[in-house]
A and B are shown apart, each in its own frame.
Chain A
Amino acid sequence: MKNEFRVIADLIEENTKVLDVGCADGTLMKFLIENKNTNIRGLEISKEKVQECIAKGLTVIEGNAEKDLKQFPDKSFDYVVLSQTLQAFLNPELVLSELLRVGKRAIVTIPNFGYWKVRFHLLLKGTMPITKTLPDEWYSTPNLHMCTIKDFVFFVKSKKIKIFKSLSLNNQNTSLINDSNLEIKNLFADLGIFLIEK
C-alpha cells in the first residue's frame, strides 16, 4: 500500500464515518475498515474500479465528485478524503467547497508541482515534467489544474479554510509543513497532505 495512505490513515480517528472520494480499487477504504474501524463509503467514477470495490465487500457508489457530492447532507461524514485528484477536476474550487460541506473535515492530497524534480525537468529538458506522482504525458494526463504546495496553502487561506495539519511526503519521509519551512517543503516534497476544515 502507498505510504500516502498510511499518512492519511494516521490523520483519521477510530470509529468515525468517512467518505473516500475517488476511492479507486478501495485499498484505502479496506485499510481504514481494518485498522480504524471506520464506517466508510466510496465514490468512484470508473465502472471497473467499482466492481473491484464490490468484490472486496466495500460500499461504493458509482458517481462523479463534481455532480454527485451534492446528494450528501451537510457534515454527514467526519472525514472526506480526496487523494491526488483535486487537480483533475474541471472546477476544483467547487469540489473543495463541496468536500468541506459534506465532511466535518477533509483530507486532501496534491501532487506538488513545485517539487524540485518537476522544476528541473521543465527547466533543463524543456518538456512537460514526468515524475512518479505525475506519470502521464501532457496529452494524456487527467490533470487540468496543477498546483504547488504553496499555491494550495495560499488558496485555502484565501478561502478562510482552517488548516489543522499539513504534511509533506517525499518517498518514505513525512514531515510537518509550517509557515517557516513552506519554501523548503515546496521544493522537496513530492506530495502535500492537508487536513482542513471550514
Chain B
Amino acid sequence: MNIEKNIKELIVKKPLKLDCGKTIKDYPIAYETYGTLNQNKDNAILVFHALTGDQFVTGLNPITNKDGWWSYAVGPNKAIDTNKYFVICSNVIGGCMGSYGPSHKNPNTKKAFGTNFPVITINDMVNAQFNLLDFFGIDKLFSIAGGSMGGMQVLQFISNFPDKSRTVIPIATTSSHSAQNIAFNELGRQAITADSNWKDGNYSSNNTNPGKGLAVARMAAHITYLSKKGLQEKFGRKLQEREDLKFGFDADFQIESYLRYQGSVFVDRFDANSYLYITRAMDYFDLAKQFKGNLSNAFKTTKAKFFIISFTSDWLYPTQENKDIVIALNSIGADVGFVEIKSDKGHDSFLLDVPDFLNALKNFLDKSYKKIIYEK
C-alpha cells in the first residue's frame, strides 16, 4: 500500500518557535477528518491522540488495516457522532504517521533526522495543530477531546487558545506528568536505546531497526494501561497452548504470549525515535509550572465548558490527578462537570467499549451542542 496516497497533509508555512528554542517552518501536519463541516462551521471537534495513536481515529486505518484507535467512541451515531459533528485529528509533530518527526529527512544531510530532530513538547504539538483551524476556516471549535496524552493536549490547547473551543473534554489525563509516569517512560526509552540496532538513532541509514527494544518498551507500557483485576480475569495463570509448564523461557503463560504479540505488532507500525520524542514531550508536561505553580491561571480567561472524565481502575492517570484539574477549575468558578466511570479495564478504558463512559460523552456533547444552537 502506498503510504503517501492515504495521508492528507497540510504544509505549515508559518514558522513555529519551539519550546527548545529552535524554529521550524514549512513542516507537514498529517491529518484526517470524519463527517462534514456545516455551513456555520460550528460543529467541528478537534480530537487529540495519545502516545501511540495517529490521525486515523475511526473506520479502517489505511496504513495498518486495523480499526482506528477510537472506533468505539467516534463514528456515525456513536458518542462523537460523525453524522452531526465534523471530527478533525492530526498526527502530533514528533510522530511517525506523516507529521513532521524524527523519521523525516534532514534537507541538509538527506538522511533521517533521528535524534537531531528538535525535542518537542505538548505545547509545540498544539501550537502546530492550531494551524488546522485556519486551514478549515473554523473560527471556534465546538469541542476538543482526548484521552491520556490527548487530554494533556486538550488542556494545553484551551490554555493557549482560551476562546477557540466551546467545550473541553480531557479524559484519563493529568496536568503534570508524575514521577511514576516519567519512570515508566524512561524504562521504555532505555529499552530502545539499549538495543544495539538503535545506532544512536541512525538506524534507518544503517538499515537496522531497534525492534526488540521498541517491543520491550511497548510491553512494559502495555501493562500500565491495564488493571491488575482486568489482567487476572482475562489471563489469570492460564497456559499458552500447552498442558503444563515447560521448564524453560518460552511463553508458558498466556499473558506472556499476549504481551509478546502486542510488542511485535507495535514494531510494525511505530518508529522507535518517535517513541523517544513523544514520551519526552509527556514527561516535560507540567501545565501548572507554566503558570508559576498555579494551575487555575492556565484557565483564567476561558469561558469554555469543561467535562472531565476519569476511570476507577486507571492507576496511570488516577482519578485524583483528574480531580486536581476539576479543583483548579472550580477555584476560579469555571464551568466544569466531572465523572469517574466504573471500569476494570484500567487506563485503556477510554479506548474500549465502556458504555457508561460512551453514554456520558455522547450526552454531554449532544446536550451542549443543542444549547449552542438554541442560544444562536
Residue numbers of A with Cβ under 8 A of B are 47, 50-51, 54-63, 71-73, 76
Structural contact, B337 and A51, CB atoms closer than 8 A: no
* B 28-87 contacts with A by CB, 8 A: none
A61 close to B360 (CB less than 8 A)? no
Q: Do residues B342 and A47 form an inter-chain contact, with CB atoms below 8 A?
A: yes
Query: How far apart are the CA atoms of A47 and B360 in the complex, in Å?
Result: 11
Q: How far is the CA of A63 from the CA of B326 in the complex (A)?
A: 11
Chain A residues with Cβ below 8 Å from B340 are 47, 62
User: B residues near A, CB below 8 A?
Assistant: 305, 326-327, 330-333, 335-342, 356, 359-360, 363-364, 367-368, 370-371
The residue from A50, A51, A59 contacting B305, defined by CB atoms under 8 A apart: A59
- Which residues on A sit within 8 Å (CB–CB) of B337? 54, 58-61
Q: Which residues of A contact B331 (CB under 8 A)?
A: 71-73
Q: How far is the CB of B336 from chain A (nearest CB, A)?
A: 7
Whether A54 contacts B360 in the complex (CB less than 8 A), given A47-B339, A47-B342, comes out as yes
3 smallest CB-CB distances across A and B, nearest first, come from A57-B367, A71-B327, A61-B338
Q: Does more than half of chain A's interface fall in helix, strand or loop, or is it mixed? A: mixed
Chain B min CB distance to A76 (Å):
5
Q: Check A63 against B363 for contact (C-beta < 8 Å).
A: no
B330 touching A71, Cβ below 8 Å: yes
Residues in B whose Cβ lies below 8 Å from that of A59: 305, 335-337
Q: Which of B326, B360, B363 contacts A71 (CB 8 A)?
A: B326
Cβ-defined contact, A51 with B359, below 8 A: yes
Which chain A residues border B333 with CB–CB below 8 Å?
73, 76
Question: What chain A residues lie within 8 Å of B327 (beta carbons)?
Answer: 71
What chain B residues lie within 8 Å of A76 (beta carbons)? 333
Query: A73 — which chain B residues lie within 8 A by C-beta?
Result: 331-333
Distance of A122 from chain B, by nearest CB (Å): 39
Q: Which residue from chain B places its CB closest to the CB of A53 in the assembled complex?
A: B337
A63 contact set on B, CB distance < 8 A: 338
Are A72 and B339 neighbours in the complex by a CB distance under 8 Å?
A: no
Q: How far is the CA of A4 from the CA of B333 in the complex (A)?
A: 28
Query: A57-B371, A72-B330, A73-B333 are known contacts. Are A62 and B360 too (CB-CB below 8 A)?
Result: no
Would A56 and B338 be within 8 Å (CB), given that A51-B360, A71-B326, A76-B333 are in contact?
Answer: no
**Chain A residues whose C-beta falls within 8 Å of the C-beta of B360 in the assembled complex:** 51, 54
| Extra 13 A-B pairs, beta carbons < 8 Å, given A57-B368, A62-B338 | A50-B339, A51-B339, A51-B360, A51-B363, A54-B337, A54-B360, A54-B363, A55-B359, A57-B370, A59-B335, A60-B337, A71-B326, A71-B331
Residues of B within 8 A of A72 (CB): 330-331
Q: In the complex, what's the smallest C-beta–C-beta distance from A108 to chain B, in angstroms?
A: 21
In angstroms, Cα B306 to Cα A137, docked, is 40
Contact A61 B342 (CB under 8 A): no
Q: Which residue of B lies closest to A42 (CB)?
A: B337
CB B295 to nearest CB in A, in angstroms, measures: 12
